[in-house]
Amino acid sequence: MLTCTWAPTVFQGPQVASSRSGGAPPDTPQLRAMAANYVQKLEQLGISHLLIAQRWWGSGEEIEASSLDCLAMTSFFAAHSEHLQLVTAIHPGFFQPTAIAKWGATMHALTGGRWHINLVSGWNLEEFSMYGIDALDHDTRYARSAEFIEVLRGAWEQSPFDYRGRFYETHGLQLEPRPQQPLQVFQGGQSDAALAMAGRHSDWMFLNGGPPEKIDGIVRRARAAAAAHGRELRFALYAAPLCRATDVEAAREIDRRIAGIDPALAARRKQRVAGASGMWSDDDALSLLDTNEGFRSGLIGSPEAILTRVAEFREIGIEMMHLDLSDALFVHQVLPAIQAT
């Protein structure tokens, strides 16, 4: 099974517990050493994919803090890795697709085809506002993202390339050098608009965490959307593991964390993510403990219990686990078994 984790570009949050850790990024020498050492450790662990977030503003309280820039950090990680597949999150509106097509083609050449894109239509409305980007309404953001993908693929596959759409336009674009391999497009989202875009344009979907019955429903809807266009989709699921020697110990620890939820921060989280649709929509305390509802995937318990849950997701059609790797017992005892399946 493929495995993915977050790149080390955010240094505070997100938690809605009464005690929080983290802070500003380390100074330059420490930052360079930390980032380089981390990606090398990931390669030693056999992690297949690294997701580099674009979060240009976040509070670090009810949501994650601001990240380092996604393009600069992707370039850095590329220079310090040999095998990791690098997936850069890009928000349409913040970038022009023709410029990303050129930058991505260069990254593709430098890395031997290890660069891919995660198209993030976005939900952090305050982030849009402070950078002077038109947030549009929810479904229109996905329409803009769909055009972004069409321009990217067109620029990579045709020369010269012409395009006239609602949001983007280019005439006689000649991308040099043109990549020799097709672009792999990842995306998130669980709304009808997200699934429609995935079915028509994307190769992979990053899914927020959730129990098997919820994830199965999303996968079925997404596959139907893709089948309507004669296409197939692949799926990665986010999970935040909590591994202990016994299920009882793990349950005790998760209960302790839930008891530490700050109701005021929980309310702020709900308000902050109002720009999303289909995610963070369930009243489950587990969804408040981390970003992207990772604990809701239920990788909580003994190593055996966690592997049983992962097998359930694999049966549903999950081909990649997108993992928080902060739990040491999980990393040492469970991760290798997941990768071996």
Lowest mean pLDDT among 107-111, 125-129, 139-143, 320-324: 125-129
pLDDT, position 141: 94
Fold of domain 2-340: TIM Barrel (3.20.20)
Percentage, residues of the chain above pLDDT 70 = 90
Question: Does the pLDDT value for residue 99 go beyond 50?
Answer: yes
Q: What are the Cα distances from residue 161, in Å, to 28, 182, 222? A: 41, 16, 30
Question: Does the pLDDT value for residue 164 go beyond 70?
Answer: yes
Question: Does the pLDDT value for residue 17 go beyond 60?
Answer: no
Instruction: Give the Cα separation of 80 and 217 in Å (integer).
Output: 39
Question: Tokens at residue 331, please?
Answer: 């990393």
Instruction: Give pTM, 2 decimals.
Output: 0.91
Phi, psi of 299 (to 5 degrees): -85, 65
Sequence length of the chain is 341
Q: What are the Cα distances from residue 236, in Å, to 49, 145, 239, 277? A: 11, 20, 10, 19
Question: Does the pLDDT value for residue 172 go beyond 50?
Answer: yes
Q: What is the pLDDT of residues 250-289, one digit of tens each?
A: 999 999 999 988 888 777 777 766 656 555 556 788 988 8
Dihedral sign computed on CA atoms, order 210, 212, 213, 218: positive
Residues in CB range of 327: below 8 A, 6 or more apart: 241, 242, 243
Instruction: Give the Cα separation of 187 and 255 in Å (integer).
Output: 32
Classify burial at 212, counting beta carbons within 10 Å of its beta carbon; exposed 0-12, middle 13-18, buried 19 or more: middle
Q: What are the domain boundaries of the chain?
A: 2-340
Rounded to the nearest 10°, the torsion over CA 158, 134, 92, 149 is -40
Phi, psi of 100 (to 5 degrees): -70, -35
Instruction: Tell me the chain's radius of gyration from C-alpha atoms.
Output: 20
pLDDT, position 27: 84
Question: Does the pLDDT value for residue 18 go beyond 70?
Answer: no
pLDDT, position 209: 96
pLDDT, position 7: 94
Give the pairing of strands 318-323 and 2-6.
Answer: parallel
